[in-house]
Structure 1
């Protein structure tokens, strides 16, 4: 787990004020922005928070600093996934070379189960689902503690998953592209498949031959550099997404999916940092 030595617990001087605690991961230009809901409620009564978190991230990006916004409700709902992602940043996850894995399609129930256990965002339906499986003969690359968690009769382990949309015709610069969206990507909890996304992308491309692949990087957690290393080009930064948050149940709702029986009277309007849209041209 993320150890105390990996963070600096005193506030970090960044040249812009924030009412939320800000800590730094040791030896990295990565800051954790800890958003408590009581403080957020008070903040929202005095200021319009619509663009606050996005602008905070973008301002610090000019200083080569990455900000990760950790909301209290996300932490309470999915602490294991939050810790898994933070541990991966400091090299504490199980590192599995992608060359040891086998790629093949994954059925919808297994993909849903995997994403619910390993991804912070809600599971969405996707046309194509591809996974990386680690054969039993390579379980030896895993730590003894991790191996103990694997059922004795398992012949392989699903360690990474990517889901893709149906192709759509998209016009860019007067030219039509057969475009596919990379909808979700996740490593198995407490694992990092080194080169995993690259292998999944290549496997999908070889089978379906799209003209391009587009995707979104969650700005609350990512500056998109990992996509740029894979040949993606940054297009736009989208407007922050609003959610209605129930602070008692720690549940979020999209405005267009708010249940009829739920009133917004006691809900908090919260805004994330938006997303960075990327595209990888293949023709």
Structure 2
């Protein structure tokens, strides 16, 4: 294993210290197999795979009911705690709390930002509504929503979007997100609720269990990663930086994710 893959050793060591043990195999990329149901593909930015081969391999394991995760080197280096939180959730090592014991309340911007920046892989994003699930006055789960009138679908047609969902580490609350969505729907009735599942981390099954319908699969998105800092930039951020001479093109590696799954949950009829 080359020096550029020391991060893989660090990742496996961190998992073991958190009670997660898997078998490392060399597939299209080094891959950790956990409990014969989770594949974590460890993708080094200095040794990029053929993306077509990566996608074909993914489809073959999805057909065998595996959860397939693409863990990029920059994501692990920049957000190791959040990565571990999410994997422990998938492995189901967390404490379960019954939803009926929890209360839904609105969450202010400051509290929402602190929670999401600390626990969500993509951090905080501005939203119109944020609601949380509380147990004994502790925030366990947060969901953030936006909404807009879609006059093209009708004068009073309201389309909403679930833009963030995050749970406190080491806690699993079956039915928690459904309870928060219903709370939001009672206060802001919608005709449909849309959300995206990141295909690098999700197969979308959790949304399907809540009644969401898969309506689209978006194209992969291009990103640029700095070779030294491992900073990840969108295409617009990258070109803006290069155009302003704040960086050199040679300092970046271009990658692409696997896109998103788009889901719609029907709401109410006006």
Query: What TM-score bracket applies, with the shorter chain setting the length?
Result: 0.7 to 0.9
Match in the other structure for 1:34: 42
SS in 2 for 1:130: strand
Shift of 1:175: 10
Asked if 2 retains the 8 angstrom alpha-carbon contact of 1:84 and 1:93, the reply is no
Q: Give 1:265 shift.
A: 2.4
CA distance in 2, matches of 1:122, 1:271: 20
After TM superposition, give the deviation of residue 62 of structure 1 in Å: 2.3
Is the 2:97–2:173 Cα contact (8 Å) retained in structure 1? yes
Residue 73 of structure 1 deviates from its aligned partner by 1.0
Pick from 13, 17, 25: which aligns with 1:11? 25
Question: TM-score by structure 2 length?
Answer: 0.84
Q: Which runs of 5+ in 2 are unaligned?
A: 1-13
Q: C-alpha displacement at 1:52, in angstroms?
A: 5.2
| Kept in 2: contact 1:2–1:92 (CA 8 A) | no
Deviation at 1:82, TM superposition (A): 0.9
Counterpart Cα distance in 2 of 1:168 and 1:94:
39
- CA deviation after TM superposition for structure 1 residue 53, in Å: 4.2
C-alpha change, 1:208 and 1:32, in structure 2 (3 Å) is same
The answer as to 2:179 corresponding to 1:199 is: yes
State the partner residue of 2:170.
190
Give matches, 1:162-181, under 5 Å: 162-169=143-150, 177-181=157-161
Q: CA deviation at 1:117?
A: 0.8
Mark the CA change 1:178 to 1:32 in structure 2 (over 3 Å): closer, same or farther.
same
SS at match of 1:63: coil
CA-based RMSD: 2.3
1:228 corresponds to 2:208: yes
Q: How many angstroms does 1:271 deviate by? A: 0.8
* 2:247 is equivalent to residue 262 of structure 1: yes
SS at 1:167 equivalent: strand
Q: Does the 8 Å CA contact 1:57/1:273 hold for their aligned counterparts?
A: no
The aligned residue for residue 160 of structure 1 is: 141
Q: 1:157 to 1:34 in 2, by over 3 A?
A: same
Deviation at 1:75, TM superposition (A): 0.8
Q: Determine the C-alpha separation between the residues in 1 that align with 2:130 and 2:32.
A: 36
User: What is the deviation of 1:128?
Assistant: 0.6
Contact persistence 2:150–2:157 (CA under 8 A): yes
Q: SS of the residue aligned with 2:47?
A: helix
**Cα distance in 1 between the residues matched to 2:266 and 2:174:** 23
SS state at 1:278 partner: strand
Structure 1 residue 115 corresponds to structure 2 residue 100? no
Partners of 1:220 and 1:243 lie apart in 2 by 13
The equivalent residue for 1:275 is 260
More RCO (CA 8 Å, sep 6+):
1
| Alignment partners' CA distance in 1, 2:120 and 2:191 | 27
Provide the residue aligned with 1:99 in structure 2.
Answer: 100
| TM-score w.r.t. length of structure 1 | 0.81
Q: Residue 58 of structure 1 corresponds to which residue in structure 2?
A: 59
Structure 1, unpaired ranges of 5+: 136-155
SS of 2:150's partner is strand
Q: Once the 2 structures are TM-superposed, how far is the Cα of residue 264 of structure 1 from its aligned partner?
A: 2.6
